[in-house]
């Protein structure tokens, strides 16, 4: 698994630094033929236990022909994302920090 972490501190307005939740995009390979029902089932498995690691899975996408699944999450670390995916039964092949979005 490749992991790129990206927690971003920000000012809380009172002079203290607070750790912001970072966003992550992860990739699952080898998912050829995945159906919408299977994608929803996997996403629900993550949602059921995400709080254990202070993770929130926002959305999931799939390309059944290419066998790729992508998940967008907010989490304290890429490792926390991976721990939830592993417990839910679908370890990510790559996890990338998303430090900038528009």
Confidence of residue 8 (pLDDT cuts 50, 70, 90): very low
- In this predicted structure, the answer to whether residue 45 has a pLDDT above a threshold of 90 is yes
Q: Which residue has the tokens 């698994």?
A: 1
* Model confidence pLDDT, tens digit, residues 65-93: 999 999 999 999 999 999 999 999 999 99
* Model confidence pLDDT, tens digit, residues 25-38: 999 999 999 999 99
Q: How many CB atoms lie within 10 A of CB 95?
A: 24
Per domain, the residue ranges of the chain are 2-6+20-97
Cβ neighbourhood burial of 40 (10 Å; 0-12, 13-18, 19+): exposed
| CATH T-level topology, domain 2-6+20-97 | Alpha-Beta Plaits (3.30.70)
- In this predicted structure, the answer to whether residue 13 has a pLDDT above a threshold of 50 is no
The verdict on pTM exceeding 0.85 is no
């Amino acid at each position: 698994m490749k992991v790129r972490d990206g927690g971003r501190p920000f000012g809380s307005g009172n002079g203290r630094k607070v750790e912001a939740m970072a966003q992550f995009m992860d990739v699952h390979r080898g998912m050829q033929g995945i159906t919408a029902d299977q994608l929803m089932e996997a996403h629900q498995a993550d949602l059921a236990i995400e709080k254990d690691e202070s993770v929130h899975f926002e959305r999931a996408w799939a390309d059944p022909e290419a066998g790729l699944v992508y998940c967008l999450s907010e989490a304290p670390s890429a490792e926390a994302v991976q721990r939830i995916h592993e417990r839910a039964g679908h370890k990510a092949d790559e996890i990338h920090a998303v430090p900038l979005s528009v």
